[in-house]
Amino acid sequence: MADLSVGRIINSNGGFYYVETAGSVITECRARGIFRKNGISPLVGDEVRFSVTPTGEGSVEEILPRKNFFNRPPCANIDMLICVSSVADPAPNQLVNDRMTVCAERRGVVPVMLFSKTDIKTAEYYVGIYEKAGMISFGFSAETGENIDRIRTLLKDRVCVLTGNSGVGKSSLLNALDPSLSLATAGISDKLGRGRHTTRTVTLYKLCGGLVADTPGFSVLDFENDEHIPPDELAYLFPEFLPYLGDCRFGSSCAHVKDKGCAVTEAVQNGLIARERWESYTAMYAEATEVENRKWDR
Ligand SMILES: Nc1nc2c(ncn2[C@@H]2O[C@H](COP(=O)(O)OP(=O)(O)OP(=O)(O)O)[C@@H](O)[C@H]2O)c(=O)[nH]1
Ligand SMILES: [Mg+2]
Ligand SMILES: [Zn+2]
């Protein structure tokens, strides 16, 4: 076999993987059948070994060990998950946002909560929720340029992924950071009031001294198919709960939902934990418990 080169997958589309090597050379590759058999497919962000035949056909031969990976959005080796919600249309979905922070925390990836379209409405209320949780959170506008420089500094020296519902303005943000990208963007559908799913594939761009992935928007993330989290693990994935977890009256059996003597619910009542986040927690806890019970019923 010819010598193998090492590169990073920067896009995948229709069964092809686009692998970038030094000097920004991009090779179109297929994946070896063995990946499909093992149930592992290469992801954008993967470092891979690949071969090229004399006729120029590339083939991914091996995925190098991953630091982490996400099923949704599908990508690997991420340092920071930038969750984008719009304060206007489409409205923020608190539960989906909090699920994304949980998925990030679970992998040791830093979650950042950004709120777009602040030229239309202030993001103060939402930002307050995530600041209270100790996360980086602020509003920005791709239209006026508000806080775009702050995002620039976040991207430096990191591999980031942008996630968020269709129409929140992920591609518009990348265009604001670098107009030469000229990514396709589209307005919200008048008929449905939803995004148009303009971005169709995950792509990594070199930007602001780092790498950032644009991804297709999605509006649901379910615990059964996308990410199963054991209910007992969940509270540990809300960083603002951590200082209270040892103080519940019934110790580790406390679900922090409506239990007597629960230090977490007490902190919610005292305004030390944002009620919105705790409500997301209780909804996720119920769902995770249901998924767990179904697993045992089978
Ligand atoms: N007023 C205002 N509109 C914005 C802003 N950012 C994006 N938009 C508009 O929001 C719409 C959706 O923007 P996109 O960038 O296509 O959204 P996206 O998140 O990439 O959507 P998908 O690719 O479908 O996931 C477009 O009509 C943009 O012009 C902003 O800061 N202010
Ligand atoms: Mg887009
Ligand atoms: Zn408790």
Query: Which pLDDT tens digit goes with each residue over 82-126?
Result: 999 999 989 999 999 999 999 999 999 999 999 999 999 999 999
Quick one: 171 and 74 in the same domain? yes
Quick one: 170 and 197 in the same domain? yes
120 lines ligand 1 (CB under 6 A): yes
Q: How far is the CA of 198 from the centre of ligand 2 (A)?
A: 5
Give tens-digit pLDDT for 46-88.
999 999 999 989 999 999 999 999 999 999 999 999 999 999 9
Q: How far is the CA of 159 from the centre of ligand 2 (A)?
A: 18
Instruction: Look up the domain containing 13 and give its range.
Output: 5-63
Decide: pTM greater than 0.85.
yes
Residue 297 is predicted with a pLDDT of: 75
Longest dimension (CA), the chain: 70
Considering 63, 82, 105, which residue would you say is the last residue of a domain?
63
What average pLDDT does the segment 236-249 reach? Answer: 96
Check which CATH number belongs to the domain holding 35 and give it.
2.40.50.140
Quick one: 122 and 210 in the same domain? yes
CA 6 from chain centre, in angstroms, equals 26
Considering 63, 92, 112, which residue would you say is the last residue of a domain?
63
Quick one: 141 and 206 in the same domain? yes
C-alpha pair distances (Å), 236 with each of 83, 233, 264, 283 = 20, 6, 12, 15
- For 245, the 3-state DSSP assignment is coil
Residues ≥6 apart with Cβ < 8 Å to 5: 21, 27, 49, 50, 51, 52
Residue 294 is predicted with a pLDDT of: 85
Q: How far is the CA of 248 from the centre of ligand 3 (A)?
A: 5
Residue 158 is predicted with a pLDDT of: 97
141 lines ligand 1 (CB under 6 A): yes
Residue 298 is predicted with a pLDDT of: 66
How many domains are contained in the chain? 3
Quick one: 76 and 201 in the same domain? yes
Check which CATH number belongs to the domain holding 250 and give it.
1.10.40.50
